[in-house]
A and B are shown apart, each in its own frame.
Chain A
Amino acid sequence: MDTTTPTKQSSPPTDWSPEVEELRRRRADAERLGGSDAVAKHHERGRLTIRERIASLVDAGSFQEVGKLTGTGHYDAHGALKSVTPAPYVMGLAQIDARPIALGGEDFTIRGGTSWSGDRKKGGQGGFVEDLACEYRIPLVNLIDGSGGSVTSIHRRGHAVFPGVHGFERSVALMSQVPVVSAVLGTAAGGPAGRAILSHFTVMVKETAQVFAAGPPVVQRSLGQAITKEELGGAHLAVDTAGTIDNAVADEASCFAMVRRFLSYMPQNVWELPPRVACGDPVDRCEDALLRIVPRDRRKPYNMRKLVELVVDRDSTFEIQPTFGKAVITALARIDGNVVGVVANNPMVYGGAMDVKAARKQTHFIELCDCFHIPLVFLVDVPGFMVGRDAEAAATLREGMRSVYVALQASVPMYTVVIRKCYGMAGMGTTDKNGLDFKIAWPSAEWGSLPIEGGVAAAFRRDIEKHPDPKAREAEIEAELRALASPFRTAEAFGVEDIIDPRETRPYLCRLINAAQGKLRTTLGRKAKYGVRP
């Protein structure tokens, strides 16, 4: 195909200006996306175009587009270019906080961002942008706004494509090599929805974004259910209820700010350490509030989020999945400028007991931190796995043991700080059994295979029953056992490595995490995982 534009000049050109002029025209067509009408309609839906999205996400002027000429050319009878309809995917290299990333996203203004492929795929699922992230070992950011495959491709190809022919194998490989972030910015179904899930961190915009395996028309036909796309895959369902997507934000600007924030805690790849920043917060800051935060009455909960903030560097907390599995809090944070992952049980929700959602959340977070060599700090107040028929029916035991399994397989340094309760298998899952197993406790700490008050009635049933005042006898045994359960007695036996004044938590952790940097530096790379997760 002749791609040069015939010129009206009578004498032949002496340089390459005509071609450069054609290049300018082709680039201008790419900038126009699906045309002004389609762009206006897209804006009316409260959404930015892919080019506006990239511009507001990355460092100013840092976007180096790749494949801008890709598309479908339209020519006149003489083979002269009339226009180019760009491929519905824009991608390239850019920088976030002066560090290179690969990024790309569907252009919804062209055929609804449905998948497109020329000789080589640009991105979406696999494609050049994912090869770029993999080969250069740089993070990948997906800006997802596409409805995936279309049945019309059967027409074009003359056959139906076997599922998974293109792309996902690369997406899977990236999960053990570079940070992958997906922002869901429109209605994502099928492939693009699946692509979003194959990420280390996902975020979606409330109201303008939805995500599901299949949308309302398919649901209507398959199940006869009439449901809106917001009910089926809006943030309330996908984030708060299902935990399919990690975090929800109010608008696209907040979404890009959150992507940048997440990446600020991440290394460029698993062969590098996460970036350490200068810490303006004194390492010896000992907050008096920590001495009072845990009520002496064991039935009274307290604000674990506040506790976390009193310990880590000021304003350094970034919570992952704040609205899902709320019995546990998972947050990236910094301690003396070093990135850490904080796993803190939340006594305000089920007394901090691990339910199936909290277990899933904790499992993912431990894997995320282990993958990117981020030390874990457990702030423990867990009475055990959630109990009851509903909890058993939801497979809490299995999902809880998965979380214990990944904790015991993880090789990143972990620190266990027992704030109050540390019981049973859920308690075991907060310790570094694969490493130094360094456990420190507050004076409010208590532990065991199960809480005393739950165990006394069963273990001493005959003793209690034959007593003239069974209630009094039960209380007596409880008091007796509780005295023996003092954390100081375990510390005497070196069953816990230290008990600290709660105010010393920050300086203690700063020293431990600084001391672990040498191990972290010398154990970089991909994590080999063997076995079958239960």
Chain B
Amino acid sequence: MALYEVKAEMTGSVWKIVTAAGETVAPGDAIMILESMKMEIPVIAEDGGTVQEILVEEGASVSEGQVVARLEA
């Protein structure tokens, strides 16, 4: 079991958080959806696992490379 960080790949705002701490996600699933350049861009959990922590709230601004969630795979 290893803890890993999920980063926002781009600057934007958090439009919708679609998972919560404690939930299990499959590799490639979205954790949250950002709004950037008027598009809904999913933030993907590459390796899947259990969501430990969501570090942002809906409506918050995020920047490229910012850690937005922690997962345990």
Contacts and interface: CB of A to CB of B under 8 A. Distances in A.
B38 A453 contact: yes
Contact of B37 (A326, A351, A390): A351
Contact of B38 (A299, A386, A388): A299
A102 to B, nearest CB: 40
Given A349-B9, A390-B11, A383 B41 contact: no
Interface string B39-61: 11110000000000000000000
Interface in A349-363: 349-353
A296 to B, nearest CB: 13
B10 interface: yes
A350 B38 contact: no
B36 interface: yes
B11 A351 contact: no
Contact of B39 (A326, A347, A388): A347
A113 B45 CA distance: 43
Contacts of A326: 9
B17 to A, nearest CB: 17
Nearest to A327: B10
A180 to B, nearest CB: 32
A351 B10 CA distance: 10
A301 B33 CA distance: 11
Contacts of B42: 348
A300 interface: yes
Contacts, number: 35
Given A350-B36, A351-B36, A301 B11 contact: no
Identify which of B9, B11, B38, B42 gathers the most chain A CB atoms within 10 Å of its CB.
Answer: B38
Contacts of A351: 36-39, 41
A22 B37 CA distance: 71
Contacts of A352: 37
Contacts of B38: 299, 351, 383, 451, 453-454
B40 A350 contact: no
A388 B41 contact: no
Nearest to A295: B40
A326 B65 CA distance: 14
Contacts of A353: 37
A205 to B, nearest CB: 22
Cβ-closest 8 pairs across A and B: A351-B37, A351-B39, A299-B40, A350-B37, A353-B37, A350-B10, A301-B39, A299-B39
30 contacts: A299-B38, A299-B39, A299-B40, A300-B39, A301-B39, A301-B40, A301-B41, A326-B9, A347-B39, A348-B41, A348-B42, A349-B10, A349-B41, A350-B10, A350-B37, A350-B39, A351-B36, A351-B37, A351-B38, A351-B41, A352-B37, A353-B37, A383-B37, A383-B38, A386-B37, A387-B37, A388-B11, A451-B38, A453-B38, A454-B38
Given A348-B42, A349-B10, A351-B38, 15 more contacts: A299-B38, A300-B39, A326-B9, A349-B9, A349-B41, A350-B10, A350-B36, A350-B37, A350-B39, A351-B36, A351-B41, A352-B37, A383-B37, A387-B37, A454-B38
